[in-house]
Amino acid sequence: MGYVRKWVQIIFGFLMNGYWGFPFSRAIYQGPLKVICAPGLNCYSCPASTTYCIIGSLQNLLANVRLSWEAGQYYLGLYVVGSAGVLGGMFGRMICGWACPFGFVQELLHKIPSPKYRVPRPLRYGKYFFLVVFVVLLPLFAIDEFGAGVTWFCKYVCPAGTLEAGLPMLVLQPTLQERLGFIFLNKLVIMLVVVVWSVLASRPFCRVVCPLGAFYALFSRFRLVRLRHDQGNCISCGACHPVCPMGVKFDESPDDGDCITCMKCMTKGCRFDAIYLEVGGIPVRAGRTQSRPVAARRLKAEG
Amino acid sequence: MSVTYSEGRKVHRVRKKPIVVVMLLLLVWFAGIALNEPGRVLELASQVCLSCIGLG
């Protein structure tokens, strides 16, 4: 399953970043595909990007909502929220595990040999703070004298934007180097912290900062595709705990907002068929189908 | 009327909540289209947002 997931991540990475003419044009893709949202966190100012970023677009629309309103255009972000919401309602944070390029980058970084550390659980609430404050409230209410706001998360935080767009654009368009300043330095430091942290801990950005992950997490109880816990088969051995890249204790909180449905708990952790995939209420049993007594005898024999 | 699916002795019911949620958000999506938001999104995404990448 891990092999399949890796290939799905690669394919989605290429689908969202499929414009490879940028070294010649020295500009970003400007075609009609950019009306489609990138399901994962993928900066739309990335030269190869073929889709729009949900978080970037939402902030831009909210930041300029007063100006568009005065011009008689009611851009409230409904198209963006609707697109992200439909994806969230169907897959929730499964998108983080299967289709997010920045999540994939973090997984690759975590493969670098080093001491590994846990992410303190209270920090997981940070992503909701970034979603509410940096993506919605500040762009909407922190406005200048003309009524225009700023894309706070993109401008001051987003390491994906620095990695995928800021640095490549500085190379492609050297004149932009004149604009380098404290804000970019601040973003560069944040990006480096996230890179180092990703080596030391599993998916720290997804767990602590990502506002898109926080949005998808809102659908953890209402999404069509999700993992379920079969209490009848579970012996609470805790085998699903250490394999989870998001630090979820699946047998204790099967609807956890951090579950990215990578299925490691189902395929690598559980030996009792206590975790299974469910699509709209219908179970899709893909785990090892070992009956509880057989598995218990085997575990006992193994000591 | 509920749609059910049987697997051995167990009977599973199709969950309606996610379908309702997706339908509602589809309506939000269509409302955005009616307000011509896709054009604005395309316009935004077709330009390098310098302030978004910390260069403006």
| Residue A17: Cβ within 10 Å count | 21
Task: Determine, yes or no, domain membership for B31.
Answer: yes
Q: Show the low-confidence residues of chain A (pLDDT under 50).
A: 287, 289
Contacts of A116 (CB under 8 A, 6+ apart): A110, A200, A201, A202
> Are residues A87 and A230 located together in one domain of the fold?
no
> Are residues A204 and A254 located together in one domain of the fold?
no
**Whole-angstrom Cα distance, residue B45 to residue B56?**
16
pLDDT at A74: 87
Does this model's pTM top 0.80? My answer is yes
CB within 8 Å: B49 and A57: no
Task: Determine, yes or no, domain membership for B15.
Answer: yes
Question: Which residue segment(s) compose the domain that B28 sits in?
Answer: 4-45
> Are residues A154 and A56 located together in one domain of the fold?
yes
Total count of domains within chain A = 2
Higher pLDDT, B9 or A66: A66
> Are residues A142 and A80 located together in one domain of the fold?
yes
Show which of A168, A201, A217 is a domain's final residue: A217
Give me the residue from A151, A176, A281 closest to B52, CB to CB.
A151
Answer whether A187's CB lies under 8 Å from A157's CB: yes
Amino acid, res. A24: F
Residue A281 DSSP class:
T
Q: Is the pLDDT of residue B56 over 80?
A: no
pLDDT at A95: 97
Higher pLDDT, B1 or A3: A3
- In three-state secondary structure terms, A53 is strand
pLDDT at B6: 56
A108 in reach of chain B (CB within 8 A): no
**Whole-angstrom Cα distance, residue A16 to residue A100?**
9
Question: From chain B, which residues contact A within 8 Å (Cβ)?
Answer: 5, 7, 12-15, 17-19, 21-22, 24-33, 35-38, 40-42, 44-56
Higher pLDDT, B9 or A283: A283
Total count of domains within chain B = 1
Show which of A198, A217, A236 is a domain's final residue: A217
Question: Which residue segment(s) compose the domain that A150 sits in?
Answer: 2-217
pLDDT at A287: 47
Mutation choice for A interface testing from B26, B29, B49, B50 by most A CBs within 10 A: B49
> Are residues A70 and A148 located together in one domain of the fold?
yes
Work out whether strand A225-229 and strand A275-279 pair parallel, antiparallel, or are unpaired.
antiparallel
Q: Is the pLDDT of residue B11 over 80?
A: no
Higher pLDDT, A104 or B8: A104
Answer whether A35's CB lies under 8 Å from B41's CB: yes
Please state the φ and ψ torsions of residue A264, each to the nearest 5 degrees. Answer: -65, -40
Give me the residue from A35, A151, A224 closest to B38, CB to CB.
A35
pLDDT at B1: 39
Mutation choice for B interface testing from A29, A51, A79 by most B CBs within 10 A: A79
